[in-house]
Amino acid sequence: MIVFIIWISTVSFSLCQNSSDVKALKRELFVTKEYDKDSKPVQDYESTIYVNVELTLNSLITLDEVQQRLTTIGYLNISWHDEFLTWDRKQYGDLDYIYLPQSEIWKPDITLQDSYTGMEELGSDLILATIRHDGSVNWTPFQVFNSYCPVSMTFFPFDRQTCEFVFGAWSMRLKDVSLLIKNVSEIALERSIKENTIWTVVSTSASTAQYHEESLVIFSITLQRKPLYVMLNMVLPLVLLSLLNLFTFAIPADCGERMGYTVTVWLSFGVFLTIIGQSLPESSESISFMDIFIVMQLFQKDSISGIVGLHQCEYIQNESDIEEAVEEQQKSPMKC
């Protein structure tokens, strides 16, 4: 019992000591040393700050083929060294790290360059950055990413799309901030994104690039569509409609529904062309083979309709000639 009381007293004293140490450390950094979050956190202002960037995706919400927009949920793991956020651990109760809101410290103005909705700051004031005693800063902004993703629907529904997330320090030049990808060569994926019902993640990659005076980090993700839904709801009905073309010539010429049947099948192809066209992007660079197939079927149906119409007219003309011949034969006197 005595040992337990002593342990509780020690823990309480340690917590109080740590709390006061944190307050003293913040007062030292922000009041005494007058930390400025708007200034580059290096002693030599001409030196370069190296920022490591990693991307983790939690879920793939949707890939809108018509608007060519990829919506995902994830977070960035961004780390760098701040020379003005350092302290001696021995002077603050062996304090190793502290948490600070992202709005109180300097951070690189990293943005999603190919954002679909416009430029916005990563994270929010709810997100805390971790600062260690040696000045290393770790910041993990959580975000809903709406990125532009050009799609190619040529092989729809067996298409494979590659989308990119391009991050860069917008207003800082390359000599001020350099973005790196240390120890990673791909995007970290959570389990939920791997079990997406529409897309399968084939591969991911990460690389760095330079555009003029700007440092960029490019993350790529390749998605393969799961075609079962499209096959059952689009491809199979189209194949069945194509087979219906063959039955046009099986209908007798003297049947009045032959032309109506032909027009009905033609209109069905037109309806499917409209439905598929609404689900594909408006682009002249890549045309889906399914669109080409439907258009070919429409031309084929036009040809069949023309042939059926001519055959119907010929049949009616022949029938009319036969009736006239019978009437003339009936009117003529019978010869013995």
Nearest to 272 by CA among 235, 247, 315: 235
Kindly report whether the peptide bond that precedes residue 141 is cis, defined as omega within 30 degrees of 0: no
Strand 177-180 to 49-64 pairing: parallel
Residues 6+ apart with CB under 8 A from 235: 157, 290
User: Residue 276 and residue 33: Cα distance in Å, rounded?
Assistant: 64
Tell me: the pLDDT tens digits for 44-90?
888 999 999 999 999 999 898 888 899 999 999 999 999 999 999 88
SS (H, E, C) the chain: CHHHHHHHHHHHHHHHHHHHHHHHHHHHHHHHCCCCCCCCCCCCCCCCEEEEEEEEEEEEEEEECCCCEEEEEEEEEEEEECCCCCCCHHHHCCCCEEEEEHHHCCCCCEEECCECCCCCCCCCCCCEEEEECCCEEEECCEEEEEEECCCCCCCCCCCEEEEEEEEEECCCCCCCEEEECCCCCCCEECHHHHCCCCEEEEEEEEEEEEECCEEEEEEEEEEEECCHHHHHHHHHHHHHHHHHHHCCCCCCCCCCCHHHHHHHHHHHHHHHHHHHHHCCCCCCCCCCHHHHHHHHHHHHHHHHHHHHHHHHHHHHHHHHHHHHHHHHHHHCCCCC
Only one residue has tokens 């729809």, namely 156
User: Residue 29 and residue 100: Cα distance in Å, rounded?
Assistant: 12
- CA–centroid distance for 132 within its chain: 35
Per-residue model confidence as pLDDT tens for the chain (336 residues): 443 333 433 344 344 446 788 889 999 998 888 899 988 899 888 899 999 999 999 999 989 888 889 999 999 999 999 999 999 988 888 899 999 999 999 999 899 988 888 778 888 888 899 999 999 999 999 999 999 999 888 888 899 999 999 999 888 888 889 999 887 888 998 877 777 888 999 999 999 998 888 899 999 999 999 999 888 888 888 888 778 777 776 666 666 676 677 778 778 877 877 777 777 767 777 788 877 877 777 777 666 666 666 665 665 555 555 555 555 655 555 444
Tell me: the pLDDT tens digits for 189-241?
887 777 788 899 999 999 999 888 889 999 999 999 999 988 888 888 888 87
Contact 187, 77 (CB under 8 A): no
Angle among Cα 272, 274, 280 to the nearest 5 degrees reads 105
pTM for this model (two decimals): 0.77
